[in-house]
């Protein structure tokens, strides 16, 4: 893998995993810590994923996904610092697979 490909993969991985970690952890913070639940359709109204049944379940799911993507972000940062191109590519692949898993998980129960 040449240098420009490695830079692109590293950048995409950091951007994707960073944004997804931020989004999920901020949802957990808003619902669990701040307790702002009025704008969420909890209780299974309409076509929503299964984890919208309760605020507790929603915040737990977001905490788990946020932690997973944060772990990938930290791992990617470590591979970049250490200059391990192979593991950087693997972390990009795992980010894409996890993103697909997040989309599929969001379809359960709708």
Residues 32-71 pLDDT 10s: 999 998 888 888 667 788 888 889 999 999 999 999 999 9
Question: Residue range 61-88: average pLDDT?
Answer: 93
User: How many domains, the chain?
Assistant: 1
For residue 62, give its domain range.
Answer: 3-107
> Which tokens is 62 given?
């977001």
Q: Which positions ≥6 away from 102 have C-beta within 8 Å?
A: 20, 65
Confidence class for position 76, pLDDT limits 50, 70, 90: very high
pLDDT at 44: 63
What helix, strand, coil percent values describe the chain, rounded to 5? 75, 0, 25
Please list the alpha-helical segments (H only) found in 29-109. 55-82, 85-107
């Amino acid at each position: 893998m040449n240098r420009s490909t490695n830079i692109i993969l590293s950048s995409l991985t950091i951007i994707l995993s960073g944004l997804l970690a931020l989004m999920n952890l901020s949802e957990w913070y808003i619902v669990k810590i701040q307790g702002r639940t009025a704008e969420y359709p909890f209780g299974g109204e309409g076509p929503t994923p299964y984890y919208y049944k309760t605020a507790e379940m929603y915040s737990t799911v977001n905490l788990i996904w946020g932690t997973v993507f944060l772990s990938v972000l930290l791992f990617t940062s470590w591979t970049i610092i250490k200059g391990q191109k192979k593991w950087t590519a693997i972390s990009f692949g795992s980010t894409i697979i996890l993103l697909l898993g997040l989309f599929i998980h969001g379809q359960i129960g709708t």
